[in-house]
Every structure is written in structure tokens, then in C-alpha cells.
A = this chain, B = another copy of it.
Amino acid sequence: MEYGQSIKIKAPATIANMVCGFDILGFAVAEPYDEMTITLKKEPGISIVHTDDHQLPTEPNDNVAGVALQAMLSELTMPVGFDVIIHKHIKPGSGLGSSAASAAGAVVAANYLLGEVFNKESLVQFAMHGEKLASGVKHADNITPCIYGGITLIRSIFPLDIIPLQPPPLFVTIVHPQIEVKTADARSILKKQVYLKDAIKQWGNIAGLVSGLLQSDYALIGRSLEDVLIEPVRSILIPGFDEIKERSKSVGALGGGISGSGPSVFMLSRSLETAQLVEIQMKAVFQQMNLLHYTYVTTVSSNGVQLFSA
């Protein structure tokens, strides 16, 4: 541990829920990612600077990285502080784990500077304070893949039980239409109760998806990417959703759905070529609606937050 030392990190975007795995599955992608530089200070306190133009709060109590770092600092006996510089490429409100990247990136970097005193599970716990600030709920399905990389299963939040799942190569096409879907709103429209018969379908699909991922069975992954509970309700908030799904599958996508609580939509494919064809279809749907949108063609990434010398 050395006062004044700095570290740079890249914190990946993450896709929570993975269609049928509401609140339990999530995965990291290679792009987009946030960049941050964190410096360890002897003086207590956290300072946050944004070099992007997203106008996110810089007051630590109001900033997801700030509250995550405060949760970490509350476990330390020595008084230290951090200067945080954030360059955000993952657009806030995109449904791509923007807040998770800030919170996870900050605690991974801080832990490195402190000499790796906390394990990954503790880092998830700290970063979840950021999610609580961002969405009102302490969920871990973006934070966990952002820290662990790859696809992660959160079997349980209380107590936290994280299971990394080793998937076969998967290409990801993402489209982010420029509409606003607040996570809190996306949660509030969900029904508190669901039919048991629908829940059974859902857990059949989840079991199928986990089995397909662990056994590299792409056809099974595709069949299991079905959500009978959440998607029918939430997709109403995303114009063109059904058409994107249909057209993506028609050019070979395995399947996909809403990224987190939206509005981004993602599709999984077996090959880069298919993922690029999917991108064309996604663009076509939003172009005909004159809806501004961003697309990404990327992969499920085994990397979580990555460290670089500053």
C-alpha cells in the first residue's frame, strides 16, 4: 500500500437477466467499457471527477462509485481516501450495467491499491451499495459479472452465493435505442405474483440454459432463451422489440431479449458473421421508426474489471 499510487481500470458493460434468468444471471461483454483512474490518498474522503459529459453527480453520497467506496472504507480501520476519475463510455440508462461498472470498477481498483485485502465476494457486497443508490434495489446481477467476468449465476443474494458458469464462445449484438426506461419503473410494472405454471416454464428454461451453457449445446441455449414472465410485461416499454427479436432469429441468432431492465436489447449468436447480420436487422428496425440508436457487436467476455498501470 502506497499513498499517491494510481491505477487505471476498464470496467465492462454487463447484461443482466439473460432472458429467462431474471435477477440471477448476468454476463460481461468485451465492449463497451468504462475507464477509471483511482489514486490512494492518506487524507480521508473521496473526490470524484467525470471527464465525460453525462452530468452524473460527483458528490460521493450521490455517486454509485462513491457509495461503493464508502461501504468499503467503513470496513477499514485506517483512514484513507480516494481520488476517482471516471470516463464513462457505457451510457447511463442504457440497461448495460453503467452504474455497476462505476461501482465495481471503483472497488476493484481501490482493493488493488489497498493491497488486495478483500476477496471478490466482498467487493460485490460493497459495489451493491451503488446499485441500491441507482435503482433502489441491492441487486448483484450486473455487479457480479462485472467483477468476475464471464457468465455468473447468483443462486442467492442473502447469503450471497455466486457461481461462475463457463460458457462456449458466444457473440453478442446489442442495440441501445435512445429512449428512457428507468430501472425503478421497469421493476414497478412487474406483477408481485405469477402463475405457478408460468414459473415452472421459466425454471425449465433456466435449467435448460445453464445445462446448455455448461455442455456447450448451442441449440439448447437457443431453445432455452425464452422468458414467459418478465419480457411480456417489460417489452411493451421498448418499441420494435418483437420485430427485432423475430428478425434477429430469422438471420440466425440463437435468441436474446431485454438487457437488464432495458431499453437495450441483446441477441446471442454462434458466429461473428451472424452477430453482424443481426446488427443490420436491429438498425433497420429503428431506422424505419426514425429512432436514434447505438449498436455494438461484441462477445461474452471472460474478463471482469481489468487493471492497467496508470
Contact = CB atoms under 8 A, between A and B. Distances in A.
Contacts of A92: none
A156 B35 CA distance: 43
Interface in A211-227: 211, 214-215, 220, 223-224
Nearest to A153: B207
19 contacts: A21-B203, A22-B200, A24-B204, A24-B207, A153-B204, A153-B207, A155-B204, A155-B207, A156-B201, A156-B204, A163-B208, A191-B196, A192-B197, A193-B193, A193-B196, A194-B194, A194-B199, A210-B211, A214-B214
Contacts of A165: 211
B161 A208 contact: yes
A29 interface: no
A161 B223 contact: yes
Given A214-B215, A223-B161, A192 B203 contact: no
Nearest to A23: B200
Nearest to A22: B200
Nearest to A201: B156
Question: Size band of the A side of the interface?
Answer: 35 or more
A106 to B, nearest CB: 27
Of residues A22, A195, A202, A211, which shows the largest number of chain B Cβ atoms within 10 Å of its Cβ? Answer: A211
B215 A155 contact: no
A186 interface: no
Contacts of A223: 155-156, 161
Interface of A: 20-25, 153-156, 161, 163, 165, 190-197, 199-211, 214-215, 220, 223-224, 229
Contacts of A192: 195-197
A135 B215 CA distance: 34
Contacts of A163: 207-208, 211, 220
Contacts of A215: 214
Contact of A211 (B190, B194, B214): B214
A279 B194 CA distance: 38
